[in-house]
Structure 1
């Protein structure tokens, strides 16, 4: 007769199951305890932070003492709030003071206000740059070279243009500047902008027929055009060159005439009684067309 070898105690499988269940319960209890601990800590930090912010507004010195941005204690949790409030209060106070000052000035006696205004106007007028300017256009009634140009100047400065349109023309004017023999007389020392444009026109002489030969001079007709802007001064007898612009041009052999204009301008220091003028290199090519040839200057400072 056979008997079972198993005793009355739990089997190995039951023992493993009990150990596994106990481990899971223990881990759950640890997680729960950890969660409750950190939740409590976060609530305490939040409460401390809120009380700190409220304390910044409840402290007696938050609006009474000036906050120096250069001497801020960054360990103080209230320094940013105090600094911003201090700046805002100063800005509002300054604005109200300015409004009060403007209101007080407006309510002052009319005589006192007029005197202050007049004094300010005199100061501005004293510091303002006087109006010194000139713009001259060509004189179309005297377009022949012999009538508008002087003899050749020294220092190879060509022929000076003597005749410009008088200020009677609406396009010409003189403000505190004199025109004498084609020269603008500077009334005061200062920095001036000077400019000029000269119009050139070339025609073949009568009886000259264009040659079919491309090397013929009658076809190419190279012409040199130079415009000079110079000045006379009390300290030197000869003219002094300020600017020069040059061009050598060959007009089309099929054109009846050739046209070209030269413009230049610049800023120069001039003294009182200096005399500025325009001259050209080729007197046979200049054309004193009013809209195309002009000369001027104005005081900058």
Structure 2
């Protein structure tokens, strides 16, 4: 009997100890759980703020990009290797490009559908002196011309078929050949051909210029004299 009582007493003590320990642990566990939940809420809130800020920054950046008006301005120089066009430069003097318009293979590439103002000027130095002093019956006129052409898939073209359509063309008479001239001593005259107009262009369209080969040698390619450009409206 004595041994049985002892066993029973030990069991009771163990249960009381466990209950007290449990009572001591329960408040601590609740505090820990509350802190964990609070920490998780803070982390979720911080993540939400970061996502919102990131989304706002992306929207702001996209608005900035969309607000950049597409424009390109090129300077022209004579290149003896080209016999049908001026060589256009996009990183010299006042030339620039933005908004997706770019120079590729000596052509301007349109980045997106829209209305664009296309313009170009070619300046020349031509001789109006008739070197044949014996020929007084013929006084040929000196003509200057400049052309801008467009390639577009809307014409039924593809990347292989490169059929161009003229969208700007200007021709003017600079002078008449004479045996005597009132211009400078070497009989040279300076003249420019300018043209520009608004066109509805499509993404992937390209624009190029054409010029008669005999006129390329007379091209004035000092800064600001010969240029080619496009800007979105």
Structure 1 and Structure 2 fold alike (TM over 0.5):
yes
Higher Cα Rg, which structure = 1
Give the conservation status (yes or no) of the 8 Å contact 1:191–1:269: yes
Please tell me the root mean square deviation across aligned C-alpha atoms, in Å. 3.2
Match of 1:199 in 2: 123
The residue aligned with 1:293 is: 226
Partner of 2:199: 268
Provide structure 2 residue ranges, at least 5 long, that are not aligned to the other structure: 1-48
* Corresponding residue for residue 224 of structure 1: 143
| C-alpha deviation, 1:294, in angstroms | 0.4
Q: Counting strand residues as a fraction of each chain, which structure ranks higher?
A: 2
Determine if contact 1:225/1:282 at 8 Å carries over to the other structure: no
* TM-score between the two structures when normalised by the length of structure 1: 0.47
| CA positional deviation for 1:184 | 0.5
CA 1:200–1:221: 2 relative to 1, 3 Å:
farther
Taking the aligned partners of 1:213 and 1:272, their CA distance within structure 2 comes to 54
Query: Deviations for 1:159-217, whole angstroms, at most 9, x for unmatched residues?
Result: 333x12231x2411111222122200111111111100001221379xx636276534x
The answer to whether the 8 A contact 1:226-1:282 is kept is: no
Match of residue 246 from structure 1: 171
Q: For residues 171 and 128 of structure 2, what CA distance do their matches in structure 1 show?
A: 21
Q: Which runs of 5+ in 1 are unaligned?
A: 1-110, 151-158
Note the alpha carbon deviations across 1:209-248, whole angstroms, 9 max, x for none: 36276534xxx44122111111112333311111111112
What's 2:15 paired with? none
Per the alignment, in what secondary structure is the counterpart of residue 138 of structure 1? Answer: strand
Larger relative helix fraction = 1
2:105 to 173, 181, 201: 181
Mapped partners of 1:123, 1:224: distance in 2 = 50
Give structure 1 regions of 4+ aligned residues with deviation exceeding 4 angstroms: 121-124, 126-129
3-state SS of 1:289 partner: coil
Report the Cα distance in structure 1 between the residues aligned to 2:103 and 2:117, rounded to whole angstroms: 17
Superposition pairs of residues 152-163 of structure 1, within 5 angstroms = 159-161=84-86, 163=87
